[in-house]
Every structure is written in C-alpha cells, then in structure tokens.
Amino acid sequence: MTVDVDRAQVYAAEEAAFGGTIHDAPTRFEHLERLALVVMAFPWWQGPVIPVVTARADARSSSARSTPSGTEIRLAPPQWTPVTLTHELAHVLAGIDGGHGPEFRRAHVDIVSAALGEEEGGWLLDAYLGFGLAVPDSDRAVAGAEPP
C-alpha cells in the first residue's frame, strides 16, 4: 500500500483556502448533485456521469470509490459542502487510487475553478503553493468557460 504523504497538507490547504466561507458550509444535497453535473458537463471530464449519493446517516466521511457498477461519490451528511464535493470529484478525475499528489491537486484546482469560480480556484492554487505543494500546469479550459 502506498503512503499518501501529501494528504494532511492538502487538507490544511483546503482549510486555508475555504475555511469559514460559504463553500465550506453545509448545503442541500440537491444543490451538490446539480453542481456535480455542471462539472461533468465540461469537455475535459473523462468518462461517464458519476453518481453522487448520500452516505449512511451516521457516516462521518465522504469518498470517491469504485463499485461493481462503476465509480460513485458518497457524501456524508455532515460534509454536504461544495468543498467536499469538489475534493471527491478531483479524486475521480485524477484517478481513484492516486492519492493527493500533483495530478489530484491539478484536477482539484480545475474543478474548483469550473464549479465555484476562477477566483476560488486561485485561492486553492495559492494555498497549495503556500504549503509547498506542486501543482502542474493545466491543459483543461476552465477560464471564462461555461459548461455546455
């Protein structure tokens, strides 16, 4: 099993970028489902639409995972936030088993830019760089883009 050495720093960068903002506040599950569909409508989204489902009522953490029928995102009720959703979408785009490395961080910044706005994507990029985490250049068009 590979150790995910950047995990704690990624979480700290997310908190630095979004802690205390509306994007880190719980919202309606239906809002998150719609937001996920916006992201998955961009031409650079790889593969099919991924189901976003609610986790058990007592679940404390969210995840993107492989299932017998494909990939799905499970959101725990305490984490029904745009920040959590974009994090899990980035795991899907970068590869479920990829941890929190550079590919994940690039996907995360691009997804935040697409879902929440370019300014917010900049907050996350600045936070990653501030924590010494590399973020590769992007070939995904998100600046000023509208999903189809």
Per-residue pLDDT of 80-121, as tens digits, reads 999 999 999 999 999 988 899 999 999 999 999 999 999 999
- Binned at pLDDT 50, 70 and 90, residue 46 comes out as confident
Residue 133 has pLDDT above 90, yes or no: yes
Whether the pLDDT of residue 1 is over 90: the answer is no
The burial of 114, by beta-carbon neighbours within 10 Å (0-12 exposed, 13-18 middle, 19 or more buried), is given as: buried
Give CA–CA dist 70/101, Å, rounded: 23
Q: What is the pLDDT of residue 97?
A: 86
Residue 143 has what pLDDT?
52
The Cα–Cα gap between 125 and 110 comes to: 9
**Residues above pLDDT 90, as percent of the chain:** 78
- Rounded to the nearest integer, the mean pLDDT of the chain is 91
- For residues 98 and 43, what is the distance between their CA atoms, to the nearest angstrom? 22
Any idea what the Cα angle at residue 34 is, between residues 32 and 35, rounded to 5°?
60
Where do we find the tokens 């936070």? 127
Q: Which residue has the higher pLDDT, 5 or 82?
A: 82
pLDDT level of residue 142 (50, 70, 90 thresholds) = low
More confident residue, 140 or 33: 33
In this predicted structure, the answer to whether residue 34 has a pLDDT above a threshold of 80 is yes
